[in-house]
Structure 1
Amino acid sequence: MQSTLPGSEVRDNGIISSGIKVENFEIVTYQGLIRQANELGYSEAGNLLQETLNEELAASELLNSLATKSATTK
């Protein structure tokens, strides 16, 4: 991405794709942590982790909508 022009479509798509990749990793991680917290009886921690997971899901939805918008405006 360093060789692309700032603000170019290629760079923007690369940044969006990287963000989606990170969000997906975070979502899977939080899902595992929630499952472990609940299995160990740490329901309060599980609830807090669920709140964070909801934020990650919202961020993922936003990035996916940006990717879709970018793909349809070509």
Structure 2
Amino acid sequence: MSEPILKISDRARLGAEIGYLMVRGAGYAAAIVFGSWALLWVISEVGNQLPEASRETPDPTPVSMIMPYDVKYQITLFG
């Protein structure tokens, strides 16, 4: 049987591997959380750079959220 290179026991090696995998998983989670935060921050900053007049203008398609009577009736009848 081959001799371990680092002269550590199997139990210590297993503990080190588990610790490494836990730290790596925490790094991935941190990357996802901070990446999401950074994306939201960039979108917010782009919105802050828009001129004031563009923030006060009405919606370009105000009737897009109005449901026709037939669709509304069908949803309440069968839903």
Specify the TM-score bucket, using the shorter chain as the normaliser: 0.3 to 0.5
The structure number with the bigger radius of gyration is 2
Relative contact order (alpha carbons < 8 A, sep ≥ 6): 1 or 2 greater? 1
What TM-score results when the alignment is normalised by the length of structure 1?
A: 0.46
What TM-score results when the alignment is normalised by the length of structure 2?
A: 0.43
